[in-house]
Amino acid sequence: MREISDMGWRVSPADVERIVPFELLLDRMAESRQADWIQDRRALHTRPEPSGQERETTAHIVSRLKELGISGRVPDRGVGVIADLVLGSPAANAPLIAVRADIDALRMQDRKSTPYASACSGLAHACGHDVHTTIVLAVAEMLSNLTKRLPESEVPSARLRFIFQAAEETAEGAAWMVEDGALKDVSAILGLHVDPTIPVGKVGIRYGVLTAQVDEVEISVRGKGGHAARPQHTTDPLAAAAALVSTLYQTVPRRADALYPTVFTMGTIHGGSASNVIPDVVEIMGTLRSTDRVNRQAVMDTIQRTCDGLAAATGNTIDVRFLCPLGSVVNDVTVTSAYEASAIQVLGGQNLTIIDKPSMGGEDFAVYLDHVRGSQFRLGCASGEGEWPMLHSPIFDVDERAISLGARIISRAALVLSLMAPE
């Protein structure tokens, strides 16, 4: 996990004043285009595609960018888009600012009763990636239109890259994009995530650790099975697995440092095929979420020692594997402050929330931050009375006014960083 950078500076609202000549134009564009962006989002929402198979979505993005006069490159995998935009006459060593959206959907049923509910059985944009995609396309539209709406001498100089990433839900896509050169020459990267715990018209900002480190935990209990009526002739891997689940749930919280949020949950346990047969093998899968490297290692060591001890006590072999490690999103000071200052300009300081605790969710935006500085912010998307449906709910939806607000904030932050980032 990357620690929060001590380098850099905080962008202030006064710094954002440097782009005041463009702000009103950006806001007017957002106001005039908001209804069309909502329709774009609904079209994406109707046609969700699973991780790694986002070919129709990719084609839609390429087509929209082409309409804007921006050429999009599709990597050899056939999913995802990388597109560059140059404004004005930037120096050869001018910073290159990337903006990232994730484009995949979840394998789950959409149960909303709306005209734009998913038309694809078993697939749903229940995590807001359709909104993220729409917002970044809107940012590309707004910034590219500056060259059409302003005299040539007034167009800001900036180098921008738009990254539309596949397979975020499987935590594969960011690594693919890095392999495909999406971060080549990039100075900083901007991202966002809709947040149904925040009302529309408000945003959440956090400096430092935003999301948890994620490790999949695979445990295999192997031994001697046999007849259910004669357990004395077996090592009963199923009984050992049951004891292991209970023991881990007791020991892990006692070994984790309470000062750092840590969650270990087992989600599946599989073994056996008949009621009167003790199986030879039981497989357990779980997830470990942590926010501190030292604490993470201590918990992993505890899991290993507990498995070793129970294996010795029961006569079974218990193997543990920690798979698919994903680091935390650690928001950079300078990039996050650009978001903070931009959000204040768009929404007012009273509508800015400083998030005081990291989320225990995972996010493969963290992969980009292993290479360049960057930040994500939380875009409020809830409205109305009562509790708003959470992410990954079959009835998840957003207040679509969030789209233009997100586009206005990101556009400002991208321009500010383009003007201020160090060489």
Q: DSSP 3-state assignment of 26? A: helix
pLDDT > 60? residue 4? no
Mean pLDDT of 93-119: 97
Statement to judge: residues 196 and 91 lie in one domain = yes
pLDDT at 5 over 70: no
Does the pLDDT of residue 48 top 70, yes or no? Answer: yes
Q: 140 or 8: whose pLDDT is higher?
A: 140
Q: Could you list the residue range(s) of the whole structural domain that residue 222 is in?
A: 213-326
Q: Do the domain assignments include residue 6?
A: no
* Cα(216)–Cα(4) distance, integer angstroms: 24
DSSP single-letter state for residue 282: E
Provide the mean pLDDT of the chain.
94
Burial class of residue 84, CB neighbours in 10 A (0-12, 13-18, 19+): middle
Is residue 423's pLDDT more than 50? no
Over 80: is that where the pLDDT of 106 sits?
A: yes
pLDDT at site 127: 97
pLDDT tens readout for residues 343-367: 999 999 999 999 999 999 999 999 9
> Which CATH number covers residue 387?
3.40.630.10
3-class SS at 121? coil
Residues 116 and 140 in one domain: yes
Which pTM value belongs to this model?
0.92
Residues 109 and 200 in one domain: yes
Same domain, 199 and 344: yes
Token pair for 331: 């928001």
Count the domains in the chain: 2
Q: Check residue 384 and give its pLDDT.
A: 78
Q: What is the Cα Rg of the chain in Å?
A: 24
Give the pLDDT score at 138. Answer: 98
Same domain, 284 and 400: no
Nearest alpha-carbon partner for 156 in 136, 142, 176: 142
Q: 386 pLDDT band (50/70/90 cuts)?
A: confident
> What pLDDT is recorded for position 421?
46
Is a pLDDT exceeding 90 seen at residue 177? yes
Query: Which secondary structure element, helix H or strand E, spans residue 358, and what is its range?
Result: none
290 in the same domain as 141: no
Q: Cβ(23)–Cβ(13) under 8 Å?
A: no
In a shared domain, residues 386 and 351: yes
- The arithmetic mean of pLDDT across residues 289-315, rounded, is 96
Task: Enter the tokens of residue 15.
Answer: 């710094």
Confidence of residue 20 (pLDDT cuts 50, 70, 90): low
Q: Is residue 128 located within the same domain as residue 227?
A: no
Q: Provide the pLDDT for residue 10.
A: 77
Specify the pLDDT at position 8: 60
- Six token digits for residue 257: 């440092």
Q: What is the pLDDT, as a whole number, of residue 276?
A: 98
Residue 24 has pLDDT above 90, yes or no: no
| Strand locations in 63-149 (E) | 72-73, 81-87, 96-102
Tell whether 393 is covered by a domain. yes
- Whether 332 is covered by a domain: the verdict is no
Both structure tokens of 31: 């106001």
**Tokens matching residue 245:** 């689940």
Residues 6 or more apart whose CB falls under 8 angstroms from that of 161 comprise 82, 83, 84, 85, 96, 97, 98, 99, 182, 186
Residue 259 lies in a domain: yes
Question: Band of the pLDDT at 385, cuts 50, 70, 90?
Answer: confident
DSSP notation for 259-271: TS-EEEEEEEEEE
What is the 8-class DSSP label of residue 106?
B
Residue 369 lies in a domain: no
Distance separating alpha carbons of residues 419 and 155, to the nearest angstrom: 12
Q: What is the pLDDT of residue 108?
A: 98
43 lies in the same domain as 134 = yes
H/E element, 146: helix 129-149
Whether residue 3 is predicted with pLDDT greater than 50 in this model: the reply is no
Please state the rounded mean pLDDT for residues 242-257.
Answer: 96
Query: What's the residue count for the chain?
Result: 423
Tokens of 365: 């935006």
CA–CA gap between residue 84 and residue 257 (Å, rounded): 44
According to DSSP, the residues that pair with 324 across neighbouring strands are: none
CA angle 112, 115, 116 (to 5 degrees): 75
**Confidence band for 185, pLDDT divided at 50, 70 and 90:** very high
Based on the domain organization, do 302 and 155 belong to the same domain? no
User: Is there a domain that residue 3 lies in?
Assistant: no
Helix (H, G, I), strand (E, B) or coil at 293: helix
Residues 200 and 315 in one domain: no
Cβ contacts of 152 within 8 Å, gap of 6 or more: none
Task: Return the sign of the alpha-carbon dihedral for residues 116, 119, 121, 124.
Answer: negative
- 284 pLDDT band, cuts 50/70/90, is very high
pLDDT value at residue 154: 87
Confidence band (pLDDT; 50, 70, 90) for 13?
low
Residue 362 lies in a domain: no
pLDDT for 403 beyond 70: yes
pLDDT at residue 93 tops 50: yes
Report residue 323 as tokens: 């798979």
Show the tokens assigned to 78: 């056939």
Sign of CA dihedral 134, 192, 142, 67: negative
CATH number at residue 305: 3.30.70.360
Same domain, 145 and 240: no
Is 281 among the domain residues?
A: yes
